[in-house]
């Protein structure tokens, strides 16, 4: 499965099952609250094997699924 | 102390005259408003409300996240002598419906984008008068509501400075909180309650018109309203944060906006310390922080002081029913008196009552009781005495256990409120129990907060089940996520045979919490592990 699919599946199942319309461009601000962001960080670190830097947890990197995909791809290649 | 005969809207009027062009509030995305424009726009809203027959003694619900329209509606309602009712937008529908049914507002102000949270098969029945935007037009038509939009009001109404009927002793606003009774209580606070509490708090903190604050809490919590009212009184600017989802962003906001102040609950400070680089780059303009809603541990407090060496750390203790401050401790004493929540505010008395109901001496533990002009008018239900929250002497029985030292410093040893404070949110256990209880396998449920190093308190649901096949506990979590935002979903579910009850047969959250903290079985039944 692609990173995009993985993320959508994870968020819809574990964090926001009442947001069936969630897509790659949905603003996650209304979907994922501050405690859920922490879970996303832990999930990314476990699944993609890199440490998420504090300064990287920003709306620019975590604001949408598309932003998250770009962020993960950039860091996985390192 | 100044005369208490001031109503809240007068705080805005005064500073609109003093500083018409000064920024009153700045929102994420840089939408902003001056004191002069905020005063003018809320005057126009007041003019419309008067025509609609909304006035002294009426109530208007405010269902808004932090936003400019929410602010304009709030002040407009205040200016007709009506009471605002702060409705937490994150609460579940049954809680919202309970608030509206009890408080019976004549109108509701809401962001049309939030309407979907109120709709559906279990939709919330709203008052017939809507204050919103044009996006709510279709829904208003469907539901037969009368919609008044802010754009249209601002375009057609004239700003007048009419004085509403009533006095400073009237109820200004209602905030819902949870005590030990299961259902939320609507705390009625008067103009005088707030004004005298704000003045007393500021006699200690010495803030002025040059101060500004980054607001990270919603205005529908007393902590948020307090920041709004304080800065309206001072003529200081409020900068609203985009939210605590991203602590690194909050750090950047503090630096970018150059606010002089920041107020948060322990969770917010821990997040800033752990998940931002605030210690490496302290915001240069920040000169004070205020911790409310609980204390940081001594090591955490030291860490904060080391991270922000040029910033004064203040700590306040209070309850919504006390509008809200009771005690305060400032930077001079914070490290001299570790664990202290400070001394009573200048016009507040704090006593410790022993089991006989009489005051006990220094060092002796008892119930913390507060008196003064900041103590609430009562609950909307009128149950404040029946619930034992206000005693015959008019004092507030906080339900918290603590002691005073010989110098009058308050130390808490236990908290009685069942309001769960998790990740900076205030959560009514009942709203979560209502959702868990709708799962067909759940026979009875109690939701409690247990201490958690990151969240402050973690939501745990204790459930007793109807007979049936084995069930994955994760199913309960998925069920809750259908109706509740993530932060309000229990982090774990524990299955027990029976929940502890009071002699009258009601589920006792306090007994369950006590058993959990002491490591004894809940409801004298086995506790299953979370899957």
Going by C-alpha positions, the residue among B483, B526, B531, B519 that lies closest to residue B92 is B483
Domain-located, residue B158: yes
Q: Residue A27, Cβ neighbours under 10 Å: how many?
A: 10
**Dihedral Cα B435, B438, B441, B443, nearest 10 deg:** 90
Helical ranges in B262-382 per DSSP H: 266-275, 298-307, 331-334
Of A16, A34, A35, the CB nearest to B481: A16
B277 touches chain A (CB under 8 A): yes
Nearest chain A residue to B244, by CA: A34
Q: Does B173 fall in a domain?
A: no
Split chain B (531 residues) into runs of 10 and give each run's mean pLDDT: 78 98 94 98 98 97 96 98 94 88 97 88 92 97 96 96 93 85 85 96 96 96 96 98 90 97 94 93 97 87 96 96 97 94 97 91 94 97 92 94 96 80 85 90 93 89 93 90 87 91 80 88 50 32
For residue A16, the model assigns a pLDDT of 82
Which chain B residues touch A54 with a CB distance below 8 Å? 247-248, 275-277
- How many Cβ pairs closer than 8 A exist between chain A and B? 60
pLDDT score at A19: 77
Output the pLDDT for position A12: 87
How far is the C-alpha of B208 from the C-alpha of B206, rounded, in Å? 7
Confidence of residue A35 (pLDDT cuts 50, 70, 90): confident
Domain that holds residue B516: 420-524
Of B437, B447, B530, nearest to B488 by C-alpha is B447
Domain boundary among B102, B133, B168: B168
User: Residue B4 has what pLDDT?
Assistant: 63
Number of domains in chain B: 2
User: Residue B514 pairs with which residues in a beta bridge?
Assistant: none
Q: Cα B212 vs. chain centroid, distance in angstroms?
A: 20
What's the length of chain B? 531
Domain range list for chain A: 3-76
State whether B249 and A29 contact (CB < 8 Å).
no
**CA gap B434, B307 in Å, rounded:** 42
Q: How far is B524 from chain A (nearest CA, A)?
A: 32
Shortest CB distance from A35 goes to which of B246, B423, B478? B423
Chain A residues with CB-CB distance to B454 below 8 A: 38
What Å distances lie between residue B293 and B184, B223, B369, B398, B410, CA to CA?
Answer: 18, 8, 17, 14, 15
User: Does residue B65 sit within a domain?
Assistant: yes
CATH assignment of the domain containing B435: 3.30.300.30
Radius of gyration of chain A from Cα atoms?
11
The ipTM is 0.74
Domain boundary among B147, B168, B189: B168
Q: How far is B250 from chain A (nearest CA, A)?
A: 10
Q: Do B243 and A17 touch (CB under 8 A)?
A: no
Mutate to test the interface with A, among B485, B491, B492 (most CBs of A within 10 A): B485
Chain A residues with beta carbon closer than 8 angstroms to that of B246: 37, 57-59, 62
Query: Which residues on adjacent β-strands are paired with residue B239?
Result: B26, B214
Residue B516: CA atoms inside 13 Å, Cβ hemisphere, count? 23
Structure-token match 């994150």, residue found:
B90
Burial group, residue B263, by CB count within 10 angstroms (0-12, 13-18, 19+): buried
Shortest Cα distance from A14 to chain B (angstroms)? 7
**Which residues 5-34 of chain A have a CB within 8 Å of chain B?**
13, 15-18, 29, 32-34
Pick the CATH number of A3-76 from 2.60.40.1260, 1.20.140.10, 1.10.1200.10, 1.10.287.180: 1.10.1200.10
- Comparing alpha-carbon positions, the chain A residue that sits nearest to B276 is A54
Residue B122 located in a structural domain: yes
B196 in Cβ contact with B229 (< 8 Å): no
Q: Helix B298-307 crosses helix B266-275 at what angle (to 10 degrees)?
A: 60
Q: Is residue B348 part of a domain?
A: no
Residues in chain A: 78
CATH number at residue B41: 3.40.50.980
């Amino acid at each position: 499965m692609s990173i995009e699919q993985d993320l959508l599946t994870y968020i819809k199942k574990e964090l926001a099952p009442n947001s069936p319309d969630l897509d790659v461009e949905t603003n996650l601000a209304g979907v994922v609250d501050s405690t859920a962001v922490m879970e996303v960080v832990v999930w990314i670190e476990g699944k993609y094997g890199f440490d998420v830097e504090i300064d990287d947890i920003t709306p620019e990197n975590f604001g949408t699924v598309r932003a998250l995909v770009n962020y993960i791809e950039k860091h996985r290649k390192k | 102390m100044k005369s208490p005969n001031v109503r809240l809207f007068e705080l805005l009027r005064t500073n609109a005259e003093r500083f018409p062009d000064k920024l009153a509030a700045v929102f994420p995305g840089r939408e902003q408003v001056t004191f002069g424009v905020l005063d003018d726009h809320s005057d126009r809203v007041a003019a419309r409300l008067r025509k609609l027959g909304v006035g002294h003694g009426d109530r208007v619900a405010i269902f808004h996240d932090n936003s400019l329209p929410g602010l304009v509606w709030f002040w407009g309602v205040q200016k007709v002598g009506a009471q605002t009712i702060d409705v937490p937008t994150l609460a579940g529908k049954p809680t919202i419906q309970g608030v509206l049914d009890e408080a019976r507002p004549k109108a509701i102000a809401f962001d049309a984008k939030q309407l979907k949270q109120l709709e559906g098969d279990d939709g919330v029945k709203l008052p017939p008068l809507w204050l919103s935007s044009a996006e709510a037009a279709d829904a208003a038509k469907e539901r037969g509501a009368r919609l008044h939009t802010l754009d249209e009001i601002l375009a057609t109404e004239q700003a007048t400075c009419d004085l509403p009927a009533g006095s400073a002793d009237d109820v200004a606003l209602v905030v819902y909180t949870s005590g030990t009774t299961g259902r939320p209580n609507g705390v009625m606070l008067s103009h005088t309650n707030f004004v005298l509490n704000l003045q007393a708090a500021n006699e200690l903190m010495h803030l002025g018109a040059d101060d500004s604050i980054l607001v990270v809490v919603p205005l529908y919590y007393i902590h948020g309203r307090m920041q709004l009212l304080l800065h309206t009184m001072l003529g200081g600017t409020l900068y609203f944060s985009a939210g605590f989802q991203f602590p690194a962003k909050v750090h950047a906001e503090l630096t970018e906006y150059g606010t002089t102040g920041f107020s948060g609950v322990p969770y917010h400070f821990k997040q800033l310390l752990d998940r931002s680089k605030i210690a490496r780059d302290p915001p240069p303009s920040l000169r004070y922080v205020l911790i409310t809603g609980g204390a940081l541990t001594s090591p955490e407090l030291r860490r904060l002081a080391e991270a922000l060496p040029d910033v004064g750390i203040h700590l306040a203790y209070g309850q919504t029913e006390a509008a809200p401050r009771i005690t305060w401790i400032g930077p001079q004493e914070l490290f001299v008196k570790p664990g202290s929540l400070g001394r009573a505010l200048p016009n507040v008395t704090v006593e410790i009552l022993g089991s006989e109901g009489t005051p006990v001496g220094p060092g002796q533990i008892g119930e913390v009781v507060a008196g003064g002009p900041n103590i609430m008018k009562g609950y909307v239900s009128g149950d404040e005495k029946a619930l034992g929250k206000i005693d015959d002497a008019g004092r507030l029985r906080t339900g918290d256990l603590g002691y005073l030292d010989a110098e009058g410093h308050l130390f808490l040893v236990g908290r009685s409120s069942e309001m769960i404070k998790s990740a900076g949110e205030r959560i009514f256990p009942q709203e979560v129990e209502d959702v868990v209880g709708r799962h067909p396998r759940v026979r009875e449920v109690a939701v409690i907060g247990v201490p958690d190093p990151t969240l402050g308190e973690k939501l745990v649901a204790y459930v007793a089940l109807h007979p049936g096949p084995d069930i994955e506990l994760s199913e309960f979590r998925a069920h809750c996520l259908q109706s509740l935002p993530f932060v309000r979903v229990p982090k774990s579910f524990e299955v027990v045979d029976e929940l502890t009850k009071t002699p009258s047969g009601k589920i006792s959250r306090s007994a369950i919490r006590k058993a959990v903290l002491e490591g004894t079985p809940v409801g004298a039944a086995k506790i299953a592990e979370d899957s």
